[in-house]
Structure 1
Amino acid sequence: MMKLIRNSALVAAISLAALSANPALAQKNKDKNKDQEAAAAPAAAPVSNVVQGIAVANLQAAIANADAFRIAQQQRPVTYKPQLDQAQARGNALEAQIKPMIDRFNAARQGTLTPALQTQLQGQARAIQELQEKGKQEIQQILLPVALSEAFVNEQLEEKLDQAVQKAMEKSKVSLLLQPGAVVARANAYDLTDEIVTELNALLPTAQLVPPQGWEPREIREARAQQAAQQGAARPAAAPAPAAAAPAKPAGPQPEGR
């Protein structure tokens, strides 16, 4: 095939040189080739050779581009402004508290590292690390309502995602849908993400921003259920109830029956 291509290119180059040298012949061949070009058109390589029935979709991108997700992203900083402000203030206070400790630590490192100084530096490093970890946990606890809101909105969209995918596949006549990671390369014509976003917008125009009291993400609920099931399986079976004792026979001789 490569040899044929090279020969064809060589013939084309020679023909081009001949036509350039003879304008009349060039015009004659130009008119003659019109019908040939029309006949050869179907054999030309198509611009986009799309196989119907196959598509690729980025489901995470579909959720992130859904109207419900974007609206929630815009509303969350307003709804949870107190928590965000509190977390920012705590972070600033933590930085102001830790910075002098870090400065003293770095200054002490410039001296001769005697055994006593190394012990002192290790203690300072532990104190800084413990303070940073404690502050991080405090900030995470402050921002817990914000994180729960994000998880709650995502879960509402995920619950509609399968239905949106099925509708998009049905409308686009797709029978096989792949994740982008499973494909080496593809043309844009195979991407079904936008169609899935359209269906998500129709199924869930807006999402509830604030989760109900006591709500937990699906991962935590499933982990709790699995833990409860494991504990139930590990619990020993109840001991069987003791059999009823036979009534005691009265002592002494029994009267004879009639």
Structure 2
Amino acid sequence: MTIIRKSLLAAGIAFAALSPIAAAPAAAQVVKGIGVVSLPAVVANSNAYKVAEQQRPVTYKPQLDQAEARRAAIAAQLQPLVTKFNTDRQANPNNPALQQQAAAIQQIQQSGQQELQQLVQPIALSQAYVTEQIEDKLDTAVQNAAKKKNVQLILDPTQGAVLYADAAYNMTQDVLNELNVLLPSAQLVPPQGWVPRQVRAQQEAAAAANGQAAPTTPPAASSR
């Protein structure tokens, strides 16, 4: 699973979502031994990922509305301060009060950004939760597709290891089909106390260093 996760991080799911999966020609049936799969494209085009992307704005509408309202309020608070700062600076660039005005504006911007991040944190956790559920099925999806295509070696072009591959080697759709069978949909809302895999690993490492048991966190669900 380590290779798969590194691939996803390196390539970026958002970019893959913009790239359609090219269909392999009929010659793909006679290609033996080697296949090429874009794992970010598999994730971004999976049913579980796309359905979650459609559901999230509805499920988390209160948080999104609250964050937007707060963003507008912060912008309204900053506007007169910025206007006064620009006016005072034009009138007298050496005005000693300008530094205090700039510091006040910066403080409001920083605190506002932190507040907005806190408001949308449930949405970020939802995105991480859905992605982790999909990642947990990727290995099996790749193995199932490889067995069906009688392939012993699969390369991921997003890792930079493949300079060229004929479309006949493209197994991205095959892996996507297997993933959709394994995980038709994903749970959108993580359970109470859930944190992403990377955070769990950091917690476990810190606990091990201190000779303590790592905090228990609900794992990602296998299906919805």
Shorter-chain TM-score: which interval? Answer: 0.7 to 0.9
Query: Aligned residue for 1:122?
Result: 99
Kindly state the Cα deviation for residue 187 of structure 1 after the two structures are TM-superposed: 2.2
Q: Which runs of 5+ in 2 are unaligned?
A: 1-26, 213-224
CA distance in 1: counterparts of 2:166 and 2:104, whole angstroms:
55
Q: Does 1:208 align with 2:187?
A: yes
Structure 1 residue matching 2:210: 3-state secondary structure: helix
Alignment partner, residue 132 of structure 1: 109
Give the secondary-structure state (helix, strand or coil) at the position aligned to 1:176: strand
Matched, 1:192 2:180: no
CA deviations over 1:54-105 (Å, ceiling 9, x no partner): 2221111211110011111111111111001000100111111112222222
Q: Which residue of 2 aligns with 1:240?
A: none
Which of 66, 69, 92 pairs up with 1:86? 66
Distance 1:202 1:111 in 2: 67
Amino acid of the residue matched to residue 98 of structure 1?
A: L
* Separation in 1, partners of 2:192, 2:110: 28
Which amino acid is 1:64 matched to?
A
* Runs of 4+ deviating beyond 4 Å: 48-51
- TM-score by length of structure 2 reads 0.76
User: Is the 2:31–2:168 Cα contact (8 Å) retained in structure 1?
Assistant: no
Equivalent position SS for 2:35: strand
Per the TM alignment, residue 125 of structure 1 is displaced from its structure 2 partner at its CA by 1.9
Residue 221 of structure 1: aligned partner: 200
**What residue in structure 2 maps to residue 77 of structure 1?**
57
Unpaired runs of 5+ residues, structure 1, are 1-47, 234-258
| Partner Cα separation in structure 1 for residue 164 and residue 97 of structure 2 | 57
Matches within 5 A, 1:1-258: 52-114=32-94, 117=95, 119-180=96-157, 181-232=160-211
The aligned length equals: 183
Shift of residue 193 of structure 1?
Answer: 1.3
Closer, same or farther: CA 188–104 of 1 in aligned 2, 3 Å: farther
Q: TM-score, normalised by structure 1?
A: 0.67
Structure 1 residue matching 2:151: 3-state secondary structure: coil
User: In 2, Cα distance between the equivalents of 1:185 and 1:105?
Assistant: 56
The amino acid that maps onto 2:128 is A
How far is 1:51 from its partner? Answer: 6.0
C-alpha separation in 1, matches of 2:151 and 2:201: 32
Separation in 2 of the partners of 1:95 and 1:219?
34
Percentage of identical aligned residues:
52
What one-letter code is carried by the residue in structure 2 that aligns with 1:99?
Q
